[in-house]
C-alpha cells in the first residue's frame, strides 16, 4: 500500500524523465505496464472461477441426485428479495463502471460519488442477504443439529403449497441449504472484502490519486467487482429459480 | 542500412503490429447505460421464464440468460472487448479450462455406474 501510494503521488525522487511517476521503472511504457497489470488481474480472476466452479459443480451433481429436495427447498427462498438483490448488484456494477470512466476522464468528484454509490449498493445487497439469512435461521433451515425437515414432510401444516417429501428425501434439503449458504456466503465474503477495498479506494480517490492518469487500481478493482457480480448472476437462477412454475 | 529505433519507439501507439499494443479505449456512460438496462431487462425475463412450465427447457433458458448476461458484463463492464488479443485469449482459455474440468469430471461421474441407472 505504501509502495503504490509512493508511486501514485510521485514518491521517487529521481528518474522520471519521459514517463509518468506512476509508471514503474521496469516497464518500458505505460502501455506495457497496463497490459501486464490487466493480465495479472485476469489470471487471479481465473483462479476465482475455478474456486467458485468447484461449488457450482457440487451443486450440479447434488441437484441431479436429489432434485425433489432441491426444488422444494429452493421454493422456500424469496424470489422478490433475490430479484431485488440482482437489480441492486447490477446497479452497483453500473456505478463501478461509471467510476472507471470518471477516473479516465479525470473527474475527481464524479469518481468519488460513483465509488460511494457502488459501496452503498453493495451494503444494500448485504442488508437484504442478512434478512434472508435471518428468515432461514427462524425456520431452522440452517444445516446442522437444529435443522428441521418439518416444513418439507408436512408442508400443508405450515401453509406451504408444496408436494410433501418423504423423510429421507426431506433430509437432503440440508445439502441444498448447505450449498446455498456456502455459495452465497463465499459470494458475500467477496463483497465484504470488496467493500473494505472500496473504503480505501474512495479515500485515495478523494485525495486525487486516480484522476491524474493513474487509473489501474480503479480499473482492476472494477474487474474484481464485476466478477463478483457475475457469480451472483449465476447464483440467482440456480438457487432461487429451480422450479417456480405451478406443480403438476 | 537498417535504421535503429529506441525501445520506446517500438512501443509507439501507432505500431499496431506490436502484440503488446492495446489501444486504450474509454467506454462511454451511454454504452454502460445500454448494458445496464439490458442486464435489468434480462433479470426480469429470467424471473418470468421461471414461472412458466417449459419442462427441460427451464434450466436451459435460465443458464442461457445467465451466460448472456455474464458475457456482456465481461465484454463491456470489464472492457474485454477492447483488450489486446493476449488478454482475450487469457479470458477465453480460462473459461475453456473450466469447461474441460467439468466435462472430464462428468465423464467419470456418468460412467461409474454405467448401465445401472
Each domain of chain B, given as residue ranges in start order, spans 27-78, 84-110
Look at residue A129 in the predicted model and tell me its pLDDT: 98
Task: Assess whether pLDDT exceeds 60 at residue A222.
Answer: yes
Look at residue A7 in the predicted model and tell me its pLDDT: 52
Residue B13's H or E segment, with its range, is none
Query: What is the count of residue pairs from A and B with beta carbons less than 8 Å apart?
Result: 138
Q: Contact at 8 Å (CB) between B47 and A83?
A: yes
Q: How confident is the model at residue B3 (pLDDT cuts 50, 70, 90)?
A: low
Task: Assess whether pLDDT exceeds 90 at residue B6.
Answer: no
Is the interface score ipTM higher than 0.95? no
Q: How far is A29 from chain B (nearest CA, A)?
A: 7
Look at residue A25 in the predicted model and tell me its pLDDT: 81
Q: Between helices A30-65 and B85-112, what is the axis angle to 10°?
A: 20
Mutation for testing the B interface, residue in A58, A237, A244 having most B CBs under 10 Å: A237
SS3 assignment, position A96:
helix
Look at residue A245 in the predicted model and tell me its pLDDT: 78
Task: Assess whether pLDDT exceeds 70 at residue A141.
Answer: yes
User: Within 13 A of B114's CA, how many CA atoms are on the CB side?
Assistant: 5
Cβ-nearest to B46 among A38, A45, A241: A241
CA distance A80 to A240: 10
Q: Contact at 8 Å (CB) between A235 and A187?
A: yes
Q: How far is B107 from chain A (nearest CA, A)?
A: 12
Q: How confident is the model at residue A34 (pLDDT cuts 50, 70, 90)?
A: confident
Least confident of A8-12, A62-66, A163-167: A8-12
Query: Which chain B residues have a beta carbon less than 8 Å from that of A110?
Result: none
CB count in 10 Å sphere of residue A12? 11
Q: CA torsion angle for A27, A32, A35, A36 (degrees, to 10)?
A: -30
Given CATH 3.90.1580.10, say whether it is the number of domain A49-240. no
* pLDDT, tens digit (0-9, with 9 covering 90-100), for A99-128: 999 999 999 999 999 999 999 999 999 999
SS3 assignment, position A166:
coil
Task: Dig out the grid coordinates for A31 from the structure.
Answer: 502501455
SS3 assignment, position A77:
coil
* pLDDT, tens digit (0-9, with 9 covering 90-100), for A188-217: 999 999 999 999 999 999 999 999 889 999
Amino acid at each position: 500500500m505504501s509502495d503504490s501510494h509512493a508511486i501514485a503521488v510521485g514518491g521517487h525522487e529521481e528518474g522520471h524523465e519521459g514517463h509518468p511517476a506512476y509508471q514503474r521503472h521496469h516497464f518500458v511504457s505505460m502501455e506495457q505496464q497496463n497490459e501486464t497489470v490487466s493480465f495479472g488481474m485476469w489470471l487471479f480472476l481465473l483462479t476465482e472461477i475455478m474456486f467458485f466452479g468447484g461449488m457450482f459443480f457440487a451443486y450440479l451433481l447434488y441437484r441431479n441426485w436429489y432434485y425433489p429436495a432441491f426444488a422444494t427447498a429452493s421454493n422456500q427462498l424469496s424470489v422478490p428479495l433475490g430479484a431485488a438483490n440482482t437489480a441492486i448488484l447490477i446497479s452497483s456494477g453500473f456505478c463501478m463502471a461509471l467510476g472507471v470512466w470518471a477516473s479516465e476522464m479525470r473527474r475527481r468528484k464524479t469518481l468519488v460519488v460513483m465509488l460511494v454509490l457502488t459501496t452503498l449498493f453493495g451494503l444494500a445487497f448485504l442488508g437484504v442477504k442478512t434478512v434472508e439469512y435471518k428468515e432461514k435461521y427462524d425456520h431452522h433451515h440452517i444445516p446442522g443439529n437444529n435443522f428441521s425437515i418439518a416444513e418439507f414432510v408436512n408442508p400443508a401444516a405450515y401453509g406451504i403449497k408444496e408436494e410433501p417429501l418423504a423423510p429421507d428425501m426431506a433430509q437432503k434439503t440440508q445439502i441444498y441449504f448447505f450449498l446455498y449458504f456456502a455459495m452465497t456466503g463465499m459470494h458475500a465474503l467477496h463483497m465484504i472484502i470488496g467493500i473494505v477495498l472500496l473504503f480505501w479506494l474512495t479515500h485515495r480517490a478523494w485525495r486525487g490519486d486516480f484522476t491524474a492518469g493513474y487509473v489501474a487500481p480503479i480499473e482492476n478493482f472494477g474487474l474484481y467487482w464485476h466478477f463478483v457480480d457475475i457469480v451472483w448472476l449465476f447464483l440467482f437462477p440456480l438457487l432461487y429459480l429451480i422450479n417456480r412454475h405451478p406443480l403438476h | 542500412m537498417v535504421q535503429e529505433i529506441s525501445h520506446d519507439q517500438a512501443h509507439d501507439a501507432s505500431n499496431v503490429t506490436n502484440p503488446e499494443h492495446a489501444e486504450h479505449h474509454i467506454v462511454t456512460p451511454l454504452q454502460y447505460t445500454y448494458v445496464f438496462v439490458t442486464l435489468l431487462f434480462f433479470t426480469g425475463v429470467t424471473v418470468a421464464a421461471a414461472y412458466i412450465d417449459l419442462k427441460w427447457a427451464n434450466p436451459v433458458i435460465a443458464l442461457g440468460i445467465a451466460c448472456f448476461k455474464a458475457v456482456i458484463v465481461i465484454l463491456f463492464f470489464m472492457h474485454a472487448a477492447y483488450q489486446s488479443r493476449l488478454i482475450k485469449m487469457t479470458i477465453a482459455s480460462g473459461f475453456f479450462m473450466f469447461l474441460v474440468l467439468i466435462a472430464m469430471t462428468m465423464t467419470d461421474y456418468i460412467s461409474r455406474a454405467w448401465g445401472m441407472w
